[in-house]
Amino acid sequence: MTKIALVQKAPVFLDTKKSASNAVTHINEAAKQDANIIVFGEGWLSGYPAWIDYSIHMGCWDQKEIKQVWAQMYADAIEIDGPEIQSIKEAAKESAKYVVIGANEAIKKGKGNGSLYNTLLIITPEGEIAVHHRKLMPTFNEKLVHAYGDAFGLKTIQTPYGNIGGLICWEHWMPLTRQAMHDEGEDIHFGLWPAVKSSHKLASRHYAFEGRCYVVAMGQILRKNSIPNFLEMKPELVNNNSEFILDGGSCVIDPNGNFILEPQYGREEIIYIDLPPLHDLYTERMNLSTSGHYQRPDVFTFNVDKRRMTD
């Protein structure tokens, strides 16, 4: 059995140092519960920029409030060789666990400096970054925040629990991106989302069925009072009765698209789930293998440029 720890706990919004410190605490707590793989949500270091959807300032050219919060986000963002990621690598090594975590990543020197990326990292029990994926296509108004990524991180790693890999948010609606990951032979797929809304559940269930893999769809928690005071929110957000902007919804799905763990909304805690044996995946690949006997390489040609575009 493979035990997954879904860390559906809020980061400290726009404070990567405190968020990284909390991440280490959560990793240690999950390790004590014998979790094998510990997963955090999209942009968890240090919070998904939900203000792009809910601030009245969005869409205005040269808007000072938006430039101010972006500058704060850039200054706060991780660098891949920085101390925050180093602390998480050390926690993974000390606990001998795999860690999957989303981050806002900045390039602050050299080629590509001045850009922010929506990043997914998979860290091994040896404390090494095995997957460093930057989201290929920022979704809609995310393009005002994040730069375009590349295919360098479209890969899996072999673990004692099967081949694991991941994608971020609306990458799950990019057919060729899905195919690139199916061709990697995923057994467990980690889908990182801001929160797992209705359409996100649909995409995650489809991915599990199409890839004949387990899917861990990971959402996060963000409260209204975490948004900087200088950003005015839209009335429909201010006036609703919920304390949340992002309310989690994390769930786990089997290779037939059925929930093993139903979506968990409004729960700020570490949620544990044991996956069924990998053999259950193999039984479902008899009738559908999108990277094998259900593919037509004599008809279709597919190539992926996996070079890192900037460093």
Count of Cβ atoms closer than 10 Å to residue 304 Cβ: 13
- 275 within a domain of the structure (yes/no): yes
R_g of the chain computed on alpha carbons: 19
Does residue 213 have an active-site annotation?
Answer: no
* Catalytic-labelled residue, pool 9, 42, 105, 171: 42
171, 135 contact by CB (below 8 A) = yes
Give just the sign of the alpha carbon dihedral 200, 206, 210, 215. Answer: positive
- Domain holding 269, by residue range, is 2-284
Residues 6+ apart with CB under 8 A from 83: 20
Residue with tokens 């005071």: 229
pLDDT at 232: 86
Greatest CA span in the chain, whole angstroms? Answer: 58
- 311 within a domain of the structure (yes/no): no
pLDDT at 245: 93
144, containing H or E segment: none
Residues 6+ apart with CB under 8 A from 205: 215, 253, 257, 258, 259
Mean pLDDT per block of 10 residues along the chain (311 residues) reads 96 97 98 98 96 81 87 96 97 98 94 92 98 96 93 98 98 97 97 97 98 97 92 82 94 97 98 93 85 85 89 63
How many domains would you assign to the chain? Answer: 1
- 290 within a domain of the structure (yes/no): no
* Catalytic-labelled residue, pool 169, 171, 213, 251: 169
- 225 within a domain of the structure (yes/no): yes
- 41 within a domain of the structure (yes/no): yes
Q: Report how far residue 127's alpha carbon sits from residue 125's, in angstroms, rounded to the nearest whole number.
A: 5
pLDDT at 311: 63
Q: How many residues does the chain have?
A: 311
Name the pTM for this structure: 0.96
- 46 within a domain of the structure (yes/no): yes
Terminal CA-CA length for the chain: 38
Does residue 60 have an active-site annotation?
Answer: no
Q: How far is CA 32 from the centre of its chain?
A: 23
* Catalytic-labelled residue, pool 135, 155, 171, 186: 135
136, 148 contact by CB (below 8 A) = yes
- 266 within a domain of the structure (yes/no): yes
- 299 within a domain of the structure (yes/no): no
Does residue 84 have an active-site annotation?
Answer: no
Q: What is the CATH number of the domain that holds 32?
A: 3.60.110.10
Which of these, 158, 183, 179, 153, lies nearest to 168 by C-alpha position? 153
Residue 16's region, left for phi above 0, alpha for psi from -120 to 50, else beta, is alpha
